[in-house]
Amino acid sequence: MSDFELVDSHVHYWQPSRRDWYPVLRDVAPSLNRDYLPGHYEGDTTGVRVSGLVHVSAVSKPGTFLDEARWLDGLRVEIGVPHVLIGTIDPAAPYERIERDLTAQAQSPAFRGIRVLEGLDPSAETAARLFALLGARGWVFDLLTHPAGMREYARAIESAPETAFVLEHMGWPERDDQEEFRRWREGIARLAKLGNVDCKLSGLPMAFMTMDPGRLRPWIGTCLELFGVDRCFFGSNFPVDGMAGTYGELIDAYQRVTAELSDGERHRVFAANARRRYRIE
């Protein structure tokens, strides 16, 4: 696996022992309420050549995301990672405050855009203004939604054709059954028709608590079919997907699922597409 190049488009660092910014970990996923720092990630990825790393904000304590952004940028300056920062905003704040917070995060040369964990109404004026601003400044919106929210987000995205969107966790299906797959596929097909949406192949082990290639294949295969190999890319979602297995098992599962792709197509899915989307040099 050492010759296999990987750009990991979805990683979380956190340090609850010193920075109490993640109460959701404590309340919802206590097994993850432990420090996960660059050294832990390096240990998990032993034997894998990770040539690019995108950190995605996961703070859940109000008013802490700028502190997290400064901390992560300090790590980048000190040790060279993360290569890219996806920050966040408070969607309930006045729009002028949102714009100031985006500008503050963009002081880091690693800043590429944001995601919002919860609270953003895609049909509201705030979302429309936010998406327009992101597009004007060349920033990405990492989209976190379940299948039920895909239709409404698709409408909003249609009104923001100059903005780049990345669907996280393949639209985060909530159950591994036929009815959920039907509902999810309908939403995925709607988003895939929009040329400014990419799909991040991540999060299924979190959703289904398995790294079994047979269980993952229908979902990943559908994303590759509908978005195409030029608009899909891998993200580990570590340490969260690590609840279902090791990093090595995760890579093995994804390699098995994509075994029918050509070497060039797999390189795009596992490295080149994320490098392009997040402008990793």
Backbone angles phi, psi at 240, to 5 degrees: -65, -50
Distance separating alpha carbons of residues 87 and 21, to the nearest angstrom? 14
pLDDT in tens, 209-226: 999 999 999 999 999 999
Q: Which residue has the tokens 């996960």?
A: 36
The three-class DSSP label of residue 7 is: strand
- Name the residue among 210, 280, 219 with its Cα closest to residue 243: 210
- Name the residue among 21, 14, 19, 56 with its Cα closest to residue 35: 14
Six token digits for residue 121: 């109404």
pLDDT in tens, 128-148: 999 999 999 999 999 999 999
Distance separating alpha carbons of residues 187 and 191, to the nearest angstrom? 6
pLDDT in tens, 69-115: 999 999 999 999 999 999 999 999 999 999 999 999 999 999 999 99
pLDDT at 262 over 80: yes
Contact 125, 159 (CB under 8 A): no
Element containing residue 50 per DSSP (H, E): strand 49-56
How many C-beta neighbours within 10 Å does residue 238 have?
A: 23
How many C-beta neighbours within 10 Å does residue 100 have?
A: 14
Which domains, and CATH codes, for the chain? 5-277 (3.20.20.140)
pLDDT in tens, 151-186: 999 999 999 999 999 999 999 999 999 999 999 999
Distance separating alpha carbons of residues 17 and 26, to the nearest angstrom? 11
Reduced 3-state DSSP string for 112-142:
EEEECCCCCCCCCHHHHHHHHHHHHHCCEEE
**pTM for this model (two decimals):** 0.97
Distance separating alpha carbons of residues 39 and 257, to the nearest angstrom? 29
